[in-house]
Amino acid sequence: MLHAIGRKQRSDDLVGLLLDCHQRIRSFAGLAVTVGARMDALPGEVVEVCSRVERYFSEALPLHVQDEEESILPRLHGRSHDVDVALERMREQHDRHLDLLRGLLDLSAAVRMAPGDEAVRWMLHDVALELQADFEPHLQAEERIIFPAIRSLVSTKEQEDIVGELRARRSSAMSSRLP
């Protein structure tokens, strides 16, 4: 098996939920790197992993970005100059990630359709590595600056409201996928 991502105990506080999302971002980017490089993986495994990677980056990651830009950014903006700078950088980086994500999704779909094509697998590996390298400082900056600011500058009530918004987004996304 290439790599299993198991479920862990669900966080209930806002920063815990965001950290869980960051861990999934790292895990799925790592899966894409691995599936691109592990030529000994069985074709069925490759197809399954690519499907999971595509689903995560096309469905779940956009929800996380929406959480940050629509629920967190408006509540933190204007409360600290340093946090405002970090929020603007976060938004710019989200935009910059889009091209790499499109490339990763296209290559993952190509690998899923032809799991034995080593050249395309290595292309996926390379794009996934580039995305990983782009994600890591972004995630670390959020964890170092924005997440502590949430804890110190956003009231408990506001944090609970944001958690409700995050869950509502996911519930809406899940219900729109049901037949």
| Distance, CA of 141 to CA of 89 (rounded, Å) | 9
- Give CA 135 to chain center in angstroms: 9
State the CATH number of the domain containing residue 45: 1.20.120.520
- On whether residue 175 sits in a domain, the answer given is no
Range of the domain at 32: 14-170
Q: What is the pTM of this model?
A: 0.90
The 10s digit of each residue's pLDDT in 121-165 is 999 999 999 999 999 999 999 999 999 999 999 999 999 999 999
Total of domains in the chain: 1
pLDDT digits (tens, 9 = 90+) for 39-95: 999 999 999 999 999 999 999 999 999 999 999 999 999 999 999 999 999 999 999
Query: Does residue 43 lie within any of the structural domains?
Result: yes
The answer to whether residue 176 sits within a structural domain is: no
Q: Is residue 6 assigned to a domain?
A: no
